[in-house]
Amino acid sequence: MLFGLMICLAGAIIIYNPEIIFGIIRDNLDKPGLQVPAVVLRLILGILLIEYAPLSRFPLTIEVLGWLSIAAAVTFMLIGRANFLRLMNWALSLLKPYGRIGGIFAAGFGAFLFYAFI
């Protein structure tokens, strides 16, 4: 439920002002500390989703999301730093036209996770 609330909050912040979140990412893009948390948070989220899926309202969906999160973490780990930076630069280039839409999806995803475990 906590991850759901945090994701929902991040989505709401992005809807309100995308530069708050994306500015932090852009400012820290050249530091190696960005890729490691991206991998670790996805691994933790994936493991928790798989572990607690049976307790949710949508166990199969939550388990699939957990495996997708782990797959994303492994992919981020295996693509290397240069490709990770290219991916992040590409994602940040979509900020202007699609930033708030991404915030809506993030808030909705966070709300879904929260609802799935209440």
Contact between 22 and 106 under an 8 Å Cβ cutoff? The reply is: no
**The CA-based dihedral angle spanning residues 83, 86, 91, 95, taken in that order and rounded to the nearest 10 degrees:** 160
Give the span between the Cα atoms of 81 and 68, in whole angstroms.
21
Q: How confident is the model at residue 112 (pLDDT cuts 50, 70, 90)?
A: very high
Domain map of the chain by residue range? Answer: 2-117
Give the span between the Cα atoms of 101 and 6, in whole angstroms.
18
Give the span between the Cα atoms of 39 and 79, in whole angstroms.
11
Give the mean model confidence (pLDDT) for residues 99-109: 89
pLDDT tens readout for residues 40-99: 999 999 999 999 999 999 999 999 999 999 999 999 999 988 898 888 888 888 777 788
Tell which residue, 80, 104, 102, has the closest CA to residue 93.
102
